[in-house]
Amino acid sequence: MDEMNEPDERERPPALTPLDEAMLARAQTLADITESALRDVAQRYPADDHGCVLRDALFIQGLVDDLVTKAVIVERERGASWTDIGNAAEISRQSAHERWNIKVAAWVMMGRRRTGIGRHAADPVAYAQYLGEWLDALVGQGRDAISRLLPSLHDPAARQEASDRRAEVKRLHQRAEELRQECDKAYAAAVHAVGTDAVEEKNAVWAARHFARAEVFERLAAVEEPAAAEHRRSAAAQRDIAEGILRRSRAAQDLTSKETTR
């Protein structure tokens, strides 16, 4: 997303921890399902509107599918592995990853980093209070029934830590992009230096940029846990590229040395 279009974090209420934000989003979806189901229980459908009953059922099915995705996101935020999620869904780890990984990645980019604003994220404290009042009116569990599920709502230190981590994630992603551009420039310089005495040095610089990107992705794996596996794969890919550059550079140097001594 264009950084200029991102809402300024200072202009909106502080976020909760990522886990509590995910739990609040799940509660929101459950409320949507409940309200839709209650509305449909006594719904009067026109006799000449064929298909309207099915449309309402499919709408609720879509909400339930969204609830399952929200549950997977919550589990990832709670530290569940893809094996854990696969076991819960009675499918393989690979199938679980293929089914939900893109949705989790979208949450990491939009929800966890707060680059997108939903009803709950616009003001999580106010929305938790609203849902608590709604639930209390419905089943009488107390106006703080939702708030009790969100420990960071009452813990400014936890929220500050989460905010600091979001800032670190943003900085690291910016650094990864800067290094990508530096890799491109270093590649161009290395190609330009082919056949000159500077080629070995330029290749070393090029490899160093990829090693630096690998380190950034390793750090991201530590601070953006739901996407840790993807970040580690990116880190491994960057290291492979760097090591390949150095191997080819050494091989070319050895070949040049042999030709020189002939």
Residue 9: predicted pLDDT: 53
Residues 28 and 124 in one domain: yes
| Residue whose C-alpha is closest to residue 99's, from 79, 84, 113, 85 | 85
Residues 110 and 213 in one domain: no
Question: Residue 151 CB: number of other CB atoms within 10 A?
Answer: 14
Residue pair 152/17 in contact by the 8 Å Cβ criterion:
yes
Residues 125 and 190 in one domain: no
Domain that holds residue 127: 3-153
Residues 134 and 13 in one domain: yes
Residues 109 and 42 in one domain: yes
Residues 25 and 120 in one domain: yes
Decide which of 153, 169, 198 is a domain's last residue: 153
Residue 50: predicted pLDDT: 92
Residues 143 and 173 in one domain: no
Residues 91 and 28 in one domain: yes
- CA 66, CA 53: separation in Å to the nearest integer? 20
Q: Looking at beta carbons, which pairs linking 223-231 to residues 24 or more positions away fall under 8 Å?
A: 223/165, 223/168, 223/169, 223/172, 224/108, 224/112, 224/169, 225/76, 225/77, 225/79, 226/18, 226/73, 226/76, 226/77, 226/104, 226/107, 226/108, 226/112, 227/104, 227/105, 227/108, 229/82, 230/101, 230/105
Residues 12 and 127 in one domain: yes
Decide: pTM greater than 0.85. no
Residues 136 and 185 in one domain: no
**What digits encode the pLDDT tens for the residues 50-74?**
999 999 999 999 999 999 999 999 9
**Letter for the amino acid at 202?**
K
Residues 122 and 30 in one domain: yes
Residue 112: predicted pLDDT: 85
What is the number of domains present in the chain? Answer: 2
**What digits encode the pLDDT tens for the residues 211-231?**
999 999 999 999 999 999 899
Decide which of 136, 153, 170 is a domain's last residue: 153
Residue 118: predicted pLDDT: 65
Residues 76 and 180 in one domain: no
Residue 108: predicted pLDDT: 92
Residue pair 239/207 in contact by the 8 Å Cβ criterion:
no
* Ranges of the chain whose pLDDT falls below 70: 1-12, 115-121, 254-262
Residue pair 27/146 in contact by the 8 Å Cβ criterion:
yes
Decide which of 92, 127, 153 is a domain's last residue: 153
